Amino acid sequence: MGAQTGSMTLCLLNSFSLSIGHCRVPISAGAQRLVAFLALQDRPRTRAFVASALWPDSTTARAGANLRSSLWRAQGTGYRVIDTSTREIAIADHIRVDIREAMARATRLLDGTRPCDDILTPQTRQELSADILPDWHDSDWVLVEQEQYHQLRLHALEVMAERLTAAGRHGEAVAAGLAAVRAEPLRESAHHVLMKAHLAAGNRSAVLNQYRQCHRLLADELDLEPSALLKDLLPDPVDATSG
């Protein structure tokens, strides 16, 4: 009997899960790494490329054997998870991958020429608040993908906050700004968009409190002061460093 197909979803944000409908598909740890790697590629990859990327410290023969074992385990789920040919393999084309959708939305947000009202949603904010497989940190290929998406989502959250502020959706703008600050507390641009959202909502005390928080963080961690760009948002007259 051939492998089954259906409406499958692969989640790589926060943690790994493969599901069909509302049911999780059990899959071994080794097969998970292969499936995740293929899902993060933008095209089919040769077997040799995949083997060397996933098992860089192994001999060519051992890496090839590991790949065959992982493919066998993925096929053992009973579902078509990976498409294979003589030379190349790829994530099955019927599988919805959450990180691909999140990256597409982030890219749209960063394109100033495109309207984004339809994706200025809590779901988008939630996707941009999560990192790729944060508990996986033992392989170079994972670290590269994590850092690339982390930087993309930080920029996208900031732009999302700015777009929401411009649309007068101040509460949602604050939520997006807070998500950006949580993701990178020492990032001044995240504090900046959050302060602008508070300012647009008329909450001057919140602007001041956010500035003071940023001031403390930069002083404690980097022995720096906030830039003039942040100071220019402060209501006058105040003692920005007290309190």
pLDDT of 119 reads: 97
Residue 212 CA to residue 239 CA, distance in Å, equals 10
| Residue 213 pLDDT > 60 | yes
| Residue 243 pLDDT > 60 | no
Residue 141 domain flag: yes
Query: Of 47, 70, 93, which closes a domain?
Result: 93
The overall average pLDDT reported for the chain is 93
Residue 194 CA to residue 186 CA, distance in Å, equals 13
**Which residues span the domain enclosing 42?**
8-93
Q: Tell me: the pLDDT tens digits for 170-198?
A: 999 999 999 999 999 999 999 999 999 99
pLDDT of 21 reads: 86
Q: How far is CA 40 from CA 19, 34, 86, 91, 166, in A?
A: 17, 10, 21, 9, 33
User: DSSP state, 159?
Assistant: H
pLDDT of 72 reads: 95
Pair 126, 206 in one domain = yes
Per the CB < 8 A criterion, the answer to whether 208 and 182 are in contact is no
Q: Is 108 left (phi over 0), alpha (psi -120 to 50) or beta?
A: alpha
Sorted by sequence, the CB contacts under 8 Å of residue 103 that are 6+ apart come out as 149, 152
Pair 49, 157 in one domain = no
Q: What is the domain count for the chain?
A: 2
Q: How confident is the model at residue 1 (pLDDT cuts 50, 70, 90)?
A: very low
Q: Tell me: the pLDDT tens digits for 17-64?
A: 999 988 999 999 999 999 999 999 989 999 999 999 999 999 999 999
Residue 81 domain flag: yes
pTM: 0.90
- CATH code of the domain in which 64 resides: 1.10.10.10
